Amino acid sequence: MKKFPEGFLWGVATSSYQIEGSPFADGAGMSIWHTFSHTPGNVKNGDNGNVACDHYNRWREDVEIMKKLGVRAYRFSVSWPRVLPEGTGRVNQKGLDFYDRLVDALLKNEIVPFVTLYHWDLPFELQLKGGWANRESAWWFGEYAKVLFERLGDRVKYWATFNEPWVVAVVGHLFGVHAPGTRDIYVTFHVVHNLLRAHAKAVKIFRDTVKDGKIGLVFNNGAFSPASEKAEDVLAAKFLHQFNNYPLFLEPIYKGNYPELVLERLGEFFPRDYEKDMDEIRQPLDFVGMNYYAGHLVKYDPDSPTKVSFVSRNIPKTEMGWEIEPEGLYRLLKSLKEEYNPSEVYVTENGAAFKDEVVDGRVHDPERIEYLKAHIEQVWRAIQDGIPVKGYFVWSLLDNFEWAEGYTKRFGIVYVDFKTQKRIIKSSGYWYSEVVKENGLK
């Protein structure tokens, strides 16, 4: 039996735009994911979050499901435009009430709320002012964060400022595949910098408002391995680690500058005098959130602008086409400790999309069980090595709106029939429930 430390936080994760639906209910403002997904050509099948999992109306049922699964924590995000429809200024009490009720219901069921402030649904009104490219975004975010800390901080003790800031900056502003759909390399690195400033503002406000809580940041991470032992391939993997993974943000927070290889290759795109903000950015974190899904083989490529390209491997992949490499999670947890030695780490997302089918009213998903088991084993291994991993969250509780992929990819341990909104706990859900109950793997 691979037992986990007592009190280990076994959870499930979701995000607002991906599950809530009812984007304008109770006076909510419009988000950039609403405008982006309603723009033809941006999302597969023209899907959008108008209904999603209808969680805004069915949240009680979803809390019941979590209770049934026995999970100890629920990581969800707050929709900024529900709370501040214009992004700043006027607070929409009804929007706040929704999260207030959710938090109370979770606590009543002994489920720890773990709140993400920003999981990509920026108020559209703020996008009209330049969104994250505008330096003022740090103040806008601080104002929003304060409203939530004051309203929920008495009951919510775990807070993450941003989910995957790299994705916000790069997928949203360089690749243009996510909202707001911008493709501009200078804007991208101004956004990176402003996200860090915004994060720092929120942390400062948090220290004055919530005395007994923890605040951190959540990163997307890939396990990058060099295609050969050649120095240039090793350097390619090192660059991608510094650019795509936690170092892009932790190096400034812990050490006061962007990572060396990022500055060497992409430094010209950052705001000219970014250094002057570094003192403010260096706010201590209470935890680091590690999201992990896949590994990648990489090589030096003189023809690519970043001098790096990916080499496809003939190994099992998920429905997303992502290469399954559980050991990559262990390596990342280990390098995180070696590089920054955070006091606490949470695996804030891990999971997989597979083709799930309902047969006789059930959903049997052995591949997902195998995926989760292999990754949880690596978390256990990291804990044995003294890495302070305090919790693990499956992405996701529910099948949901997978951004530009629409509803074509199912990540849930609970199946959602999007026509009827019926939920069916998949075999992986029952399996995970046992892991939580046993506090470990058999």
Please report, as ranges, the residues that interact with ligand IFM according to CB under 6 A: 15, 18, 164, 291, 349, 395, 402, 411
State yes or no: is 349 an active-site residue: yes
Closest approach, Cβ 277 to ligand IFM, in A, equals: 26
Beta carbon nearer to ligand IFM, 253 or 352: 352
Here the tokens at position 222 are 């890939």
Residue corresponding to tokens 């990559």: 328
Q: Is 164 a catalytic residue?
A: yes
3-class SS letters over 208-221: HHCCCCEEEEEEEE
> Is beta strand 214-226 parallel, antiparallel or unpaired with respect to 287-300?
parallel
- Least separation in angstroms between residue 110's CB and ligand IFM is 26
Name, in order, each residue with C-beta under 8 angstroms of 127's C-beta and a sequence gap of 6 or more. Answer: 32, 35, 180
Structure tokens at 126: 């703020």
Calculate the alpha carbon distances from 238 to 150, 171, 244, 312, 432 in Å. Answer: 41, 20, 10, 18, 34
Minimum CB distance to ligand IFM, residue 163 (Å) = 6
Least Cβ distance, residue 137 to ligand IFM (angstroms): 20
The Cα–Cα gap between 15 and 203 comes to 21
Which among 8, 39, 98 is positioned nearest to 404, based on CA atoms? 39
Catalytic residue among 20, 164, 323, 325: 164
> Nearest CA to 120 among 402, 360, 408, 370?
402
Omega within 30 of 0 (cis) for the link into 180: yes
Distance CA 409, CA 391 (A): 25
**In whole angstroms, what is the distance from residue 371 CA to residue 426 CA?**
14
What is the H or E stretch that residue 117 is in? Answer: strand 112-118
Rounded to a whole number of angstroms, the minimum distance from the CB of residue 347 to ligand IFM is: 12
Residue 158 or 292: which CB sits closer to ligand IFM? 292
For ligand IFM, give the closer residue by CB, 13 or 236.
13
Of 125, 251, 349, 402, which one is the catalytic site residue?
Answer: 349
**Helix, strand, coil in percent for the chain, rounding step 5:** 45, 20, 35
In whole angstroms, how close is the CB of 15 to ligand IFM at the nearest point? 5
Judged by beta carbon, residue 270 or residue 401, the one nearer ligand IFM is 401
Select 59 or 395, whichever has its Cβ closest to ligand IFM.
395
Nearest CB to ligand IFM, comparing residues 160 and 261 = 160
Cβ-Cβ contacts under 8 Å for 388 (sequence gap 6 or more): 337, 342, 343, 344, 345
**Nearest-angstrom CA–CA distance, 172 and 168:** 5
Which amino acid, residue 312?
Answer: S
Q: Following DSSP, what letter does each residue of 54-98 receive, concatenated? A: -HHHHHHHHHHHHHHHT-SEEEEE--HHHHSTTSSS---HHHHHH
CB 411 to ligand IFM: min, Å: 6
111 alpha carbon, distance to own chain's centre: 19
Q: Which is nearer to ligand IFM, 227 or 329 (CB)?
A: 329
- DSSP notation for 169-200: IIIHHTS--STT----HHHHHHHHHHHHHHHH
Kindly state the smallest distance separating residue 282's Cβ from ligand IFM, in Å: 26
Closer CB to ligand IFM, 411 or 415, in the complex:
411
Active site residues: 164, 349
